[in-house]
Amino acid sequence: MRAKIARMSDRLPPLNAVRAFVAAARHQSFTRAAAELHVTHSAVSRQVKSLESHLGLALFERRVRQVVLTAAGQSFFAETAGALAQIGAAADALTRRAAPRAVRIDVRPSFAVRWLIPRLPDFVARHPGIEPQVVTSTAAPARVVGRFDLAIRRGLQGWPPSIEPRALMEDEALVVAAPRLLAALPVTSPRALAGHVLLSARSRRADWDDWLRAAGVARIKPAGRLQFDHLHLVLQAAVDGLGAAMTPVSLVGSDLAQGRLSAPLPGVRLPLERYYLGRAPGAAPEAQLFADWLAATVQAGDGV
> How does pLDDT run across 75-116, given as a tens digit for each residue?
898 888 888 888 877 777 666 665 568 999 999 999 999 999
Per-residue pLDDT, averaged over 10-32, amounts to 87
Q: Render pLDDT for 214-233 as a digit per residue (tens, 0 to 9).
A: 899 978 899 999 999 999 99
Terminal CA-CA length for the chain: 65
Task: Output the pLDDT for position 293.
Answer: 96
3-state helix, strand, coil split of the chain in percent (to 5) is 50, 20, 30
User: Hey, where are the domains in the chain?
Assistant: 2-97, 101-170+273-302, 171-272
CATH of domain 2-97: 1.10.10.10
pLDDT band of residue 302 (cuts 50, 70, 90) is low
Per-residue pLDDT, averaged over 133-141, amounts to 93
Considering the entire predicted model, what is its pTM? 0.65
pLDDT band of residue 303 (cuts 50, 70, 90) is very low
Task: Output the pLDDT for position 233.
Answer: 93
Measured CA to CA, the distance from residue 144 to residue 135 in angstroms comes to 10
Per-residue pLDDT, averaged over 35-48, amounts to 91
Question: Is the pLDDT score of 295 beyond 90?
Answer: yes
Please identify, in words, the CATH class of the domain defined by 171-272.
alpha beta
- Can you name the CATH fold of 101-170+273-302? D-Maltodextrin-Binding Protein; domain 2 (3.40.190)
pLDDT band of residue 119 (cuts 50, 70, 90) is very high
* Average of per-residue pLDDT values in the chain: 89
Q: Which residues of 132-169 are buried (b: 16+ CB within 10 A; e: fewer)?
A: beeeebeeebeebeeebbbbbbbeeeebeeebebeebb
| Beta bridge mates, 154 | 275
Question: Is the pLDDT score of 284 beyond 70?
Answer: yes
Q: Judge if 2-97 and 101-170+273-302 fold alike in CATH terms.
A: no
Q: Where are the alpha helices (DSSP H) in the chain?
A: 2-11, 15-27, 30-37, 41-55, 71-98, 109-111, 117-126, 179-184, 207-214, 231-239, 253-257, 286-297
